Structure 1
């Protein structure tokens, strides 16, 4: 199980590096634009964006390997640590020494996730044995949620509300993509199944670029404070619901629920604290889209 944890931590670090680099590239793009393929074409001309995408792809590969080694309820919450890595990497790039007030949310998120996973102690479950009804209801519910969030986000002007809506949509979509990848990786390690014969492989081919496209627009929709909590927190929440209700993964209940809720509250508070960090605000102003 420790291999799964290490791979998930490395995936969070790679995703954080990709986020930092892509935000630097986004500063050359006009603010407030609507969703467009032209945005990706303009960004593709910038080296920082290319390195960011490469790092993001590496993070996706590491996440897939983590999902192959452990349950989705274990893997996805660890990725919450991505924002902590963003803060640390930004401090390194800007040669800034982190103070107590900046380390506090970093440590809070790390400890909160560790306690949450220890309390949940996820185990069991198998995407390949999940019922067709469970997959159908789960897919319809998740895609409907994302569609509503994207529609609402695209309908409002650039700013905090749009960033929150698109960030939440991107988080939900990445959680859904992880659900599909989990099934594909389960088929890869099952000698009685093949990846290409697993239907979830084909939606992944579509879901991955759609999520990438949504992320690019989320990064420039509004402030990091508004977009990052939804992007960071909705992902593991979607994965948790899928893991428990569809995949049949087991988590501890009873009195453990109180510890799980307390740890979750610490994670949420730490994530919001990280998003509001003055250092990240300065990084965002330096890398914000030009007007």
Structure 2
């Protein structure tokens, strides 16, 4: 129960961070894509700093959730980040709330609940067997390299979606290394700080954040956020099963699981097509003016 509570808090914090970071990154020049100059520009914006602060809150909540529950339960809950992000963005950027949006939100929430009930993730080890990490890191690295290569060749929403999925993969790997790092606390604080997992979590998380900023800058939030939310949930579940030996129901239980995924997908598509998604992009009147002096 504690893990579910903190997973929900993580999703809400991440959703808030995404909206604030999107608002800041939308004004950045396209030529800054995948360059450190993008981060230098964002560091000058208070709203982006606020988004980073919410990301830090989310990281703490996620660590507690992963330390107290299976990764296959914790990470899928993050799919609620998408409807929360769009609803919050609609409030901040003057969006409307038509009936179709609420139906899509209900589809995502209902689909998630059905999936967790049908799959019933359980069991699993607190830590990963050392020999499993090299293979997992190699496969993940190749997948990320392919996504980044495609992201550099496309533009607009295609780049946003591709980089959003790359960021999702990075965040899923971060969750796996974070859970493994938290397990080392059972052997003392010294073991926690001397394990490579802690520093891998920080490095991969920072890299994923950089990729996410470029996804947000490249196109609409509706293109990047579904890939981020759903990709994170699915890839993390794979890590839970393969690395932590967590189990999911099989047999006829696969039928409601697939139905649940279809329901979540339908809800996400509905949200991505809603006026809220367009409302997250700053309107021309929201962009900084250059014909007046800056306030001091």
| TM-based fold match above 0.5 | yes
Deviation at 1:192, TM superposition (A): 10
Task: Tell me the secondary structure at the aligned position of residue 28 of structure 1.
Answer: coil
Task: Tell me the secondary structure at the aligned position of residue 261 of structure 1.
Answer: helix
Q: Which one of the candidate residues 136, 148, 151 is aligned to 2:149?
A: 151
Residue 180 of structure 2 is matched in structure 1 by: 183
Contact 2:161 2:227 in 1 (8 A): yes
Deviation at 1:240, TM superposition (A): 1.0
Contact 1:126 1:186 in 2 (8 A): no
Residue 227 of structure 1 is matched in structure 2 by: 224
Residue 132 of structure 1 is matched in structure 2 by: 130
CA–CA separation in structure 1 for the residues paired with 2:130 and 2:64: 25
Residue 275 of structure 1 is matched in structure 2 by: 272
Does 2:3 match 1:4? Answer: yes
Contact 1:35 1:217 in 2 (8 A): yes
Does 2:83 match 1:121? Answer: no
Deviation at 1:144, TM superposition (A): 1.2
Report Cα offsets for 1:234-257 as digits up to 9, x if no partner.
111111111112210011111111
Residue 49 of structure 2 is matched in structure 1 by: 50
Deviation at 1:199, TM superposition (A): 2.6
How many residues in Structure 1 have an aligned counterpart in Structure 2? 287
Task: Tell me the secondary structure at the aligned position of residue 194 of structure 1.
Answer: helix
> TM-score w.r.t. structure 2 length?
0.90
CA–CA separation in structure 1 for the residues paired with 2:31 and 2:224: 14
Residue 24 of structure 2 is matched in structure 1 by: 25
Q: Which one of the candidate residues 250, 258, 267 is aligned to 2:255?
A: 258
Does 2:58 match 1:59? Answer: yes
Contact 2:118 2:257 in 1 (8 A): yes
CA–CA separation in structure 1 for the residues paired with 2:189 and 2:219: 47
Task: Tell me the secondary structure at the aligned position of residue 196 of structure 1.
Answer: helix
> TM-score w.r.t. structure 1 length?
0.92
Which ranges of structure 1 fall in alignment gaps of 5 or more residues? none
CA–CA separation in structure 2 for the residues paired with 1:41 and 1:192: 35
Which ranges of structure 2 fall in alignment gaps of 5 or more residues? 289-296
Structure 1 vs Structure 2 CA RMSD:
2.1
Report Cα offsets for 1:20-71 as digits up to 9, x if no partner.
1111112331135331111101101011111111011111111111111101
Q: Which one of the candidate residues 213, 237, 243 is aligned to 2:240?
A: 243
Does 2:167 match 1:170? Answer: yes
CA–CA separation in structure 1 for the residues paired with 2:126 and 2:210: 26
CA–CA separation in structure 2 for the residues paired with 1:155 and 1:188: 43
CA–CA separation in structure 2 for the residues paired with 1:161 and 1:95: 26
CA–CA separation in structure 2 for the residues paired with 1:224 and 1:95: 15
Residue 92 of structure 2 is matched in structure 1 by: 93
List, as ranges, runs of 4+ consecutive aligned residues in structure 1 with deviation greater than 6 Å.
287-290
CA–CA separation in structure 2 for the residues paired with 1:185 and 1:281: 39
